[in-house]
Amino acid sequence: MAAAMEEQTTGTKLKWLWLAVLVVAIDLGTKAMATAMLTYGHPVPVMPMFNFTLLHNTGAAFSFLADAAGWQRWFFVALALVVSVVLIGWLKKLQRHETWSAIAIVLILGGALGNVYDRVVHGYVVDFLHFYWQEWHFPAFNLADTAITIGAALMILEMFRKPADSGKPANGSE
């Protein structure tokens, strides 16, 4: 009986995994298009302050550890896989009302897996979105990075949106 009650309030958010699959599919599709249609390192102006520029990132965000000897590839793969397992476990334990948290988690998960695919298959992450202002250039990124960023922002917003703990025990008993 207790397992049935727990299932009614938790575990229902695994249905959001479709969004992670969609993020991975769109991310890999746009990376394949960028690879096929762009010349490495050659910017293609789209609008003022924005180019498509094909780049390969062997590091992490902002090319962190990109100049390392190659060990970082498998380190980042392992890290992303561990984080993915933790995110799926967290998603499974969410309560029925925590929909925005579920969306945030699956966006981060989908982005992480999109970049893991690149690291395993290519040895680098394909980046192609390039914003700049005059001589200042923001590091190129991809749609997986965008999904991770949006998911993290949603998670932060969700922390502030939730009502403060009223001091009652979590199980409702006193």
Give pLDDT, residue 171: 53
CB contact set of 22 (below 8 Å; sequence gap of 6+): 110
As given in the structure block, the two tokens for residue 48 are 């003022």
Element (H, E) at 64: none
What is the average pLDDT across 64-90?
A: 78
Separation CA 149–CA 26 (nearest Å): 16
Q: Which of these, 114, 99, 102, lies nearest to 147 by C-alpha position? A: 114
pLDDT at 169 over 80: no
Q: Cα separation of 94 and 77, whole Å?
A: 26
CB neighbourhood size of 132 (10 A): 15
6-48 pLDDT tens trace: 555 555 798 999 999 999 999 999 999 999 999 999 999 999 9
Residue 17 to residue 105: CA distance in whole angstroms: 9
Instruction: Please give the average per-residue pLDDT across 54-62, as a whole number.
Output: 79
pLDDT tens by residue, 79-97? 889 999 999 999 999 998 8
Catalytic residue among 27, 67, 127, 165: 127
Q: What is the value of pTM for the model shown?
A: 0.81
What pLDDT is stored for residue 79 in this prediction?
Answer: 87
pLDDT in tens, 95-127: 988 999 999 999 999 999 999 999 999 999 999
Regarding predicted confidence, which is higher, 48 or 161?
48
Q: Is 67 a catalytic site residue? A: no
- Choosing from 27, 67, 145, 165, the catalytic residue is 145
Q: What is the pLDDT of residue 61?
A: 63
| 127 classed as catalytic | yes
Q: Which residue has the higher pLDDT, 79 or 163?
A: 79
- The predicted pLDDT at position 174 comes to 45
Compute the average pLDDT of residues 48-55: 96
In angstroms and rounded to an integer, the radius of gyration of the C-alpha atoms of the chain is: 19
